[in-house]
Structure formats: C-alpha cells, structure tokens
Amino acid sequence: MSTQAARALFDAHERRERFAPLPPHLAPRTISDAHAIQEAFVALRADKLGAIAGYKIALTSPQMRKFVGVDEPQAGMMLESTILQSPARVRAADYLRLIIEFEIAVKIGEDLPVADKPFSRERVARSVEAVMPALEIADDRNADYSQLARHPLDLIADNCWNEGAVLGAPVRDWQALDLAAVRGEASINGNKVGEGVGADAMGHPLDVVAWLANHLASIGRGLLRGDVVITGSIVTSKTVNPGDFVRFSVAGLGTVELQVD
C-alpha cells in the first residue's frame, strides 16, 4: 500500500496538482502507515534531488498542532540538492504556492545512533557542530487549510510539504548563546513581517532536536554526522511572490537571505 500511495503522491507533484488527501484505499490509517508512505515518497524524489541530508520539524507550536488536529509535531526529510546556502535564489514558478518559514538550524557533528535513545537536550547538545539561521522552503500546493484536521496523517505522508532550506553561515561557538532567548526578526522587501525567540519552537531549539532524535529512533533511524535539522518556525509562515527579497536575522547567529525570482 505504501508504495502505491507514494507513487500517487509523486505523480501528483509531477503533474503540479493541488494538495489533496490520498484516496481512501491508499490513505494512511496510522502514523506508521504515514511514515512508510513518506519514506517511499522521499525515495522516489531522491532519484532527482539527492540523498537525505537533513530533517524538518513541523507543527512545533501547540496552536498549529490544534489547528491540524494532532498531538505531536511531525517530521519530514530534506534532500541534498534542496539545501541551499545564503544568499540564495529560487523561482516561484517552480512551486504551486511557495511558503517560507523562519527557523534556527543545527548541523549534527556526531552520530546519534538508535542504541543511545532516549535523547535529552543535553545529550544532543554535545553532538551539535554548528547553529545557524535558516529559511525553510515549503510548498503547500494551494492546500485547503480548513480540511487539514480531517486528514492529519496526509501531511506526514507528503513529507510535511518540505522543498528544502536556505542556511546562513554556521556558528561553531554557539555554546555561549542562550538559544531559547535569541531573537529573530523576519523581513520581506525591507518590511518587518514578524519576530520570535528560540523558545517559540517547543521551548528550546535543542528540545526539538531531541524530539527528532527520539522520533527517528522509534522508526529505526539515527541522526547522522552532517545532517542538518531545521527546528521549526519562530515566525508565522509567509507566502512569497516573484520579486520578493526575504531576510531573517537572529541575534548572535547572523542573517540568511533569499531572492525569489
């Protein structure tokens, strides 16, 4: 079932169809079903976009989880060619509806193997090589948000809408920073569109990484050296259009920029 469902999702993306729940005979009935479909879907995309190089976490705020009708965050995978360095450019025409999120990212410096679970904030901190500001690139494919809560597992199956990320310069001496307190400010075309602090993502960005490491361990995967984790938006998602210039600055971590063509 997961292979058929993944192929249906992949074909819908290739045909640039609007996001819609999978048909009943293919729809995930459990979280395990949803992750099996996601794995198969990502494997199909990896032929063109490269190997798994990191992860995104969606629904890191209680408000967003309530909105979508789930109790826990959701994780998606990022593929190698979709992880860009700032300053970056993308074409809006390559997406159905391009959405940007404003995040703190970490690069893993040593493996977090399944055998070491459960993981705490302190344990994952020892494995973090660098921290940086990031923009998530996502495509909601013109989804009807009012319907999401009726099919919450379809978002997992569809890899949480991830289309990559733009990363700022890595900060390796991040330990002196209070990542829960650092303030980020987002702007589009020079106009401020929001701000937040690290704690807005599940209380602390490294708590998000610990959650992810435990989640991956539960499905037999480990976070690996070199993986990048974007830890959830601390500013509400923004839809962007051709000509927009997006900037996100985080105190102590620098700035990340994206030009939309």
Token duo for residue 194: 């929001």
Per-residue pLDDT band at 47 (split at 50, 70, 90): very high
For 193-250, the pLDDT digits (tens) are 999 999 999 999 999 999 999 999 999 999 999 999 999 999 989 999 999 999 999 9
261 in helix, strand or coil?
A: coil
The CATH number assigned to the domain holding 175 equals 3.90.850.10
Burial of 167 (0-12, 13-18, 19+ CB in 10 A): buried
Per-residue pLDDT band at 78 (split at 50, 70, 90): very high
Token duo for residue 135: 């923009």
At residue 234, the pLDDT reads 92
In a domain, 138, yes or no: yes
Cα–Cα distance, 229 to 243 (Å, whole number):
28
Cα–Cα distance, 2 to 48 (Å, whole number):
20
Report whether 55 contacts 78 (CB < 8 A): yes
In a domain, 12, yes or no: no
Burial of 216 (0-12, 13-18, 19+ CB in 10 A): buried
Mean pLDDT of 44-50: 97
For 88-112, the pLDDT digits (tens) are 999 999 999 999 999 999 999 999 9
How many Å separate Cα 16 from the centre of its chain? 21
Strands 228-230 and 52-58: parallel
Token duo for residue 147: 């319907």
Residue 149 reports pLDDT greater than 90: no
In a domain, 10, yes or no: no
In a domain, 35, yes or no: no
In a domain, 17, yes or no: no
Percent above pLDDT 70 for the chain: 99
Mean pLDDT of 34-52: 96
Per-residue pLDDT band at 63 (split at 50, 70, 90): low
Per-residue pLDDT band at 62 (split at 50, 70, 90): confident
Total domains in the fold of the chain: 1
Cα–Cα distance, 184 to 177 (Å, whole number):
13
Report whether 242 contacts 156 (CB < 8 A): no
Per-residue pLDDT band at 8 (split at 50, 70, 90): very high
Cα–Cα distance, 34 to 155 (Å, whole number):
8
Report whether 132 contacts 167 (CB < 8 A): yes
Percent above pLDDT 90 for the chain: 88
- Residue 84 vs residue 64, higher pLDDT: 84
Tell me the pLDDT of the chain averaged across its residues. Answer: 95
CA atoms within 13 A on the CB side of 247: 10
Report whether 102 contacts 132 (CB < 8 A): no
Give the end-to-end CA distance of the chain in Å, rounded to a whole number.
38
In a domain, 173, yes or no: yes
For 129-147, the pLDDT digits (tens) are 999 999 999 999 999 988 8
Token duo for residue 101: 């999120």
In a domain, 232, yes or no: yes
- Domain range holding 208? 54-260
In a domain, 187, yes or no: yes
